[in-house]
Structure 1
């Protein structure tokens, strides 16, 4: 038998606390919104593979939640800084200069407080995590903005998001280590052939576009085989390391010094004409000779260098082939010398 029940006939035995109910509903709503934002942050960070890309993704995600002019991350043990700034013109330069000053002069604490620095308010957060190749890595996250200090609610958003960002940064650091290992010659610490192949095209194109000189030096050690044959491969390895070290100390950061394999090296010199390249090559030859590395049987390790300045009519392959030919002339005419292709 079906019975119709009217709500008016029901007796309500427990009073409903509407205020409490509304508070709970609001809490669930905010939790739901935060989970949605967290998912969005995960998605943005998943699309980035390097530190700079992750800081940029984090800044884009944070913009509607916490107003800021700049976000930066500094890796202490790697001495690198990654900055994303939304300012333009003089304001951009001032914001980036401020970030560099803060990183340089102010220690980053675990529980930092917002402080005023020039026209900006600055807050930092210490980030620590262990990695497979960088144990107990420490970094510092900075937010910089004009107008007002970071509010309590905004600070909490940043603290909650730090764990998510930290996981992604850890992944990027591990990837960075693997990427660096794949591009670095293990024995000498110089860039390897892969880096040369990746960069030579863009360096040449930049010289072409800006109408700037660029010169390449192909270098080969003299009597290196005798070092290995007479003194052993361990002595040969030490010789390569000493040569790489002395060359590294003599070139600019903008130059590309590569160990191509064995005892062959290449040095690419952007914004360098033939005369300046010749002077550097002669200094490199003298520096290697000054190492006084014994090759056995009365011989001494030396270096032969062939240098060619790129000309607009040359293709990349023609340029590099011509440099090898000039190097061969240097070795053929007596070794331990510099040979230059005259214009």
Structure 2
């Protein structure tokens, strides 16, 4: 049998009502303090869901935000639900859904709304913090991850390899004769080449792989849980896709790239994986460019 549902928008006015209420339970004050103690989305939602479920019995609490593609859920969804859209100053902050096996009373939904009003400002601050962190790790020209993001991601892969022997591979990709493109056609055209190559790499690699702009005309791809044979196959696909690129200027500009590949289990020291991929890249350039070379 289909359960009942309630949908409502929770915004700034509800937040002000909580602040003005003299009847707010002590537990709500405690929750408000706890919600102010983190700028990380997941711990914030964990705290809210845990505390809310203690005050209003729920089988599940779910948060979704389509704009940021955030999803968090605790518990298992049931038939009866209350769904709330969170807004602040005309900005949508996401949606909270509470469910359980029995219907929510009017008093309980009012209490849920009171709790959600306390979440609005901390949630907005956490979303702004997450956005700032993401922008700090994004290359403004190509809109892919930058070197700082790569350093962090590589450190995680190395840690995983040391703990679980989870092999990863690296691809270092360098656009051939890029300086000549800049000198001949100008930096605007050069920027267009960089953006086109970055997009081509991102569209060609797997969803589980990550691409980073390492510097200048150089890109690095991390392939998690990938042996060297798989990395070589993906690198060759990337090389061929880049080779098919045509950048339209006053004349059509063709692009090629050289690629060096190395795997973590091929190096005597996993920390040297990037160095080995670099060596392979320079070998590809020495052998005429537009090639994939795997470091032995």
**1:197 paired residue number:** 151
Q: Does residue 1:125 correspond to 2:84, yes or no?
A: yes
TM-score by length of 2: 0.86
Corresponding residue for residue 79 of structure 1: 69
Kept in 2: contact 1:201–1:316 (CA 8 A):
no
Quote the Cα distance in structure 2 between the aligned partners of 1:341 and 1:297: 37
Find out whether 1:143 has 2:93 as its counterpart: no
CA RMSD of aligned residues (A): 2.3
Q: CA deviation at 1:84?
A: 2.6
Conserved in 2, the CA contact under 8 Å of 1:226 and 1:295? no
Contact 1:55–1:72 (CA<8 Å) still a contact in 2?
no
Which of 211, 219, 225 is the aligned partner of 1:257? 211
Could you tell me whether the CA contact under 8 Å between 1:213 and 1:309 is conserved in 2? yes
Q: Distance in 1 between matches of 2:82 and 2:57?
A: 13
For structure 2, the residue ranges without an aligned partner over 5 or more in a row are: 1-20
CA distance in 1, matches of 2:250, 2:168: 38
C-alpha contact 2:93 2:123 (8 A) present in aligned 1: no
Deviation string for 1:226-250 (max 9, x for gaps)?
1111111111111111111111111
Q: Take 1:259 and 1:166, find their aligned partners in 2: how far apart are those partners?
A: 35
Tell me the CA shift for residue 55 of structure 1. 1.4
Bigger mean CA offset, 276-285 vs 203-212 = 203-212
Alignment match of 1:62 (pick from 31, 44, 52): 52
Q: What's 1:104 paired with?
A: none
After TM superposition, give the deviation of residue 299 of structure 1 in Å: 7.7
Larger RCO: 1 or 2 (CA < 8 Å, sep 6+):
2
- CA deviation after TM superposition for structure 1 residue 38, in Å: 3.0
Report the equivalent of 2:126. 172
Q: Does 1:46 find its partner at 2:36?
A: yes
The unaligned stretches of length 5 or more in structure 1 are: 1-30, 86-94, 99-118
TM-score, normalized by length of structure 1? 0.74
**1:136 Cα offset (Å):** 2.3
Cα distance per residue 1:256-289 (max 9 Å; x no partner): 2111111111111112111221111111111111
Task: Find the counterpart in structure 1 of residue 244 from structure 2.
Answer: 290
Residue of 142, 150, 167 corresponding to 1:188: 142
Between structure 1 and structure 2, the one with the greater Rg is: 1
What residue in structure 1 maps to residue 26 of structure 2?
36
CA shift digits 1:105-158 (9 cap, x unpaired): xxxxxxxxxxxxxx532211121224xxxx622521111223x11122211111
Q: How many residues align?
A: 276
Distance 1:34 1:276, change over 3 A: same
